[in-house]
Amino acid sequence: MWGFYAHQQINRIAVFTLPIEMIGFYKHHIQYITENAVNPDKRRYAVEGEAPRHFIDIDVYGDSAIYKMPRYWKDAVEKYTEDTLVVYGVVPWHVNQMRYRLTDAMRIGDVKAILVLSSDLGHYIADANVPLHTTKNYNGQLTGQHGIHGLWESRLPELFSAKYDFFVGKARYIDNPQLEIWQGAVRAHEALDSVLYFEKELTRIIESDKKYAFETRGRNTVQVYSRDFSKKYHEMLNGMVERQMRRAIEMVGSFWYTCWIDAGQPDLDKFRSFQFSDEELKKRKIELEEWKKKKIESRQHENN
């Protein structure tokens, strides 16, 4: 997962890439799409099988596996078995599955499902564009860089994304969504070396008492990467976080658009007045409570 803030930004801004026939509906429901951008992360603790949908530890499959892994689920299962794939993460295939579901929801005009799936799909696409979601060393735990996950995807966007340029142009039709999301994962994975290297390098040259600072969060005092460290790291990455967020935004908008085209361009304007019932809102609240209980073991990220 990106931090909550980045996920919400990605889903929200993706709305503005949409064509005239779609943007009215999505703008009308932009609050839902934005707030619920983080739902899949909340579910990780309450729903069995949710966790592996957010990442792929591609390097467990050997050298250059990011280029060699079969792109389609059936072929990958044949080669590695489903049990193995599920252990090491399935995000590129899950995105494609969600894409089918959203297309179906649009085809049959199930407005509730359109909103839920648009929001969820945006989340998984965003995850697939995070370098640290493509490695078994997802939190720097194998290289003495524990905490780097939250630094890259939460701390940096929170501190610096206000200055990012999020104008990414118009959503485009994606000919092959399965290959497209893999392309996103490949680019993310190619950035991984820099993500790890620059943190290590900066840690080496910065005075050891300058790396971390303490901040108050509610009633707690927590250790965070200092502003100075974060700023220097951000500069060394040379626009990488912005680039990955832009890619995610553009891709989310383009996936939504592609689903809509494949569904036969249904008239979404007639769903504008849709509202979730009190009962559904209550259900969401319960989900939130479940999330707080963290019944299922999952990977630790800074924001959870």
Is position 250 an interface residue for Zn ion (rule: CB under 5 A)? Answer: no
- The least CB distance from residue 130 to Zn ion, in Å, is 9
Is position 153 an interface residue for Zn ion (rule: CB under 5 A)? Answer: no
- The least CB distance from residue 91 to Zn ion, in Å, is 8
What CA–CA distances, in Å, run from 222 to 72, 138, 226, 302? Answer: 42, 21, 11, 11
Q: Closer CB to Zn ion, residue 1 or residue 224?
A: 1
Q: Which of 1, 18, 114, 116 binds Zn ion (CB under 5 A)?
A: 1
Q: Closer CB to Zn ion, residue 95 or residue 224?
A: 95
Q: Closer CB to Zn ion, residue 1 or residue 114?
A: 1
| Residue whose Cβ sits closest to Zn ion | 1
| 97-136: contacts with Zn ion (CB under 5 A) | 127
Number of residues that bind Zn ion (CB under 5 A): 4
Given the structure tokens 């485009």, which residue do they identify? Answer: 172
Q: Closer CB to Zn ion, residue 28 or residue 187?
A: 187
- The least CB distance from residue 137 to Zn ion, in Å, is 17
- The least CB distance from residue 260 to Zn ion, in Å, is 24
Q: What are the respective helix, strand and coil percentages of the chain, to the nearest 5?
A: 65, 5, 30
Q: Are 102 and 117 in contact (CB under 8 A)?
A: yes
* Cβ within 8 Å of residue 120, ≥6 positions away: 36, 39, 40, 98
Is position 94 an interface residue for Zn ion (rule: CB under 5 A)? Answer: no
For 249, how many CA atoms within 13 A lie in the half-sphere containing its CB? 25
Three-class SS state of 222? strand
Q: In angstroms, how far apart are the furthest CA atoms of the chain?
A: 60
- The least CB distance from residue 123 to Zn ion, in Å, is 6
Q: Closer CB to Zn ion, residue 15 or residue 38?
A: 38
- The least CB distance from residue 43 to Zn ion, in Å, is 9
Pairing mode, strands 212-217 and 220-225: antiparallel
| 17-56: contacts with Zn ion (CB under 5 A) | 41, 54
What does residue 203 show for φ and ψ, rounded to 5 degrees? -60, -35
- The least CB distance from residue 126 to Zn ion, in Å, is 8
Encoded one letter per residue, x for contact with Zn ion by CB under 5 A and - for no contact, window 51-90 reads ---x------------------------------------
- CA 69, CA 73: separation in Å to the nearest integer? 10
- CA 84, CA 278: separation in Å to the nearest integer? 41
User: Token digits for 75?
Assistant: 């072929």
Q: Closer CB to Zn ion, residue 59 or residue 127?
A: 127
- The least CB distance from residue 57 to Zn ion, in Å, is 14
Q: Are 261 and 107 in contact (CB under 8 A)?
A: no
Q: Are 129 and 251 in contact (CB under 8 A)?
A: yes
Q: Closer CB to Zn ion, residue 1 or residue 117?
A: 1
Q: Closer CB to Zn ion, residue 127 or residue 250?
A: 127
Q: Closer CB to Zn ion, residue 148 or residue 263?
A: 148
Query: Where does residue 64 rank: exposed (0-12), middle (13-18), buried (19+ CB within 10 A)?
Result: exposed
- The least CB distance from residue 1 to Zn ion, in Å, is 3
Residues that bind Zn ion (CB under 5 A): 1, 41, 54, 127
